Chains A and B, each alone.
Chain A
Amino acid sequence: DAKTTQPNSMESNEEEPVHLPCNHSTISGTDYIHWYRQLPSQGPEYVIHGLTSNVNNRMASLAIAEDRKSSTLILHRATLRDAAVYYCILRDNSNSGYALNFGKGTSLLVTP
């Protein structure tokens, strides 16, 4: 599986935007970029995913570099409830039976 690299932790103030980076220099043409987050003592929650174009949904935006070797998850206004571990994961589109392989993710701390 192609690997992703994320900072171990980031900190943000409440109501400010947060940009969570992810490097995936070995991404292949069939890999989608998925982001999940995990709140304490809960299962992971889907955030957003994309292939080549930037994506927006009610939770976040995903900005994908033109060469697809990196991406950034953008939380437009961080709230205390956004404090979680954020995982950037590549998922091969060619096989729907593939599981998600989780790395260490970025632990986001949001301070009031």
Chain B
Amino acid sequence: GAVVSQHPSRVICKSGTSVKIECRSLDFQATTMFWYRQFPKQSLMLMATSNEGSKATYEQGVEKDKFLINHASLTLSTLTVTSAHPEDSSFYICSARDQGQGAASPLHFGNGTRLTVT
């Protein structure tokens, strides 16, 4: 089955530093990838839609200069949390759809990245 690999699974960083999270589709090509954030005991919240070769589309309230998204190839999207602060500590999850399948096909999710900012 389709696999989405997300790396790292856990990261601890100091306040003010930047952290990059990678999301790769291992056995399929993904024109579009999605980035979510999940706080404890809450549901997933869509942060942005990442399109290969173009600028990402951010949801309302998500700062594009703080959460930099790059989707340079059909198999890789990255999310960089810049100048991280403790309130950015969260579980970040990416997902992708196989472009070779129909619009109704499921999304495939990475296993998430637990970010802790100290």
Contact = CB atoms under 8 A, between A and B. Distances in A.
Does A associate with B in a complex?
yes
Interface of A: 32, 34, 36, 38, 41-46, 49, 51, 87, 91, 93-97, 99-105
A43 B112 contact: yes
Majority SS at the chain A contact face:
loop
B25 to A, nearest CB: 13
Nearest to B112: A43
Contacts of B4: 43
A43 B104 contact: no
Interface of B: 4, 6, 32, 34, 36, 43-46, 49, 51, 91, 93, 95, 97, 102-104, 106-112, 114
- Most chain A CB atoms below 10 A, which of B4, B6, B49, B109: B109
Contacts of B93: 43-44
A51 B104 contact: yes
A91 B32 CA distance: 15
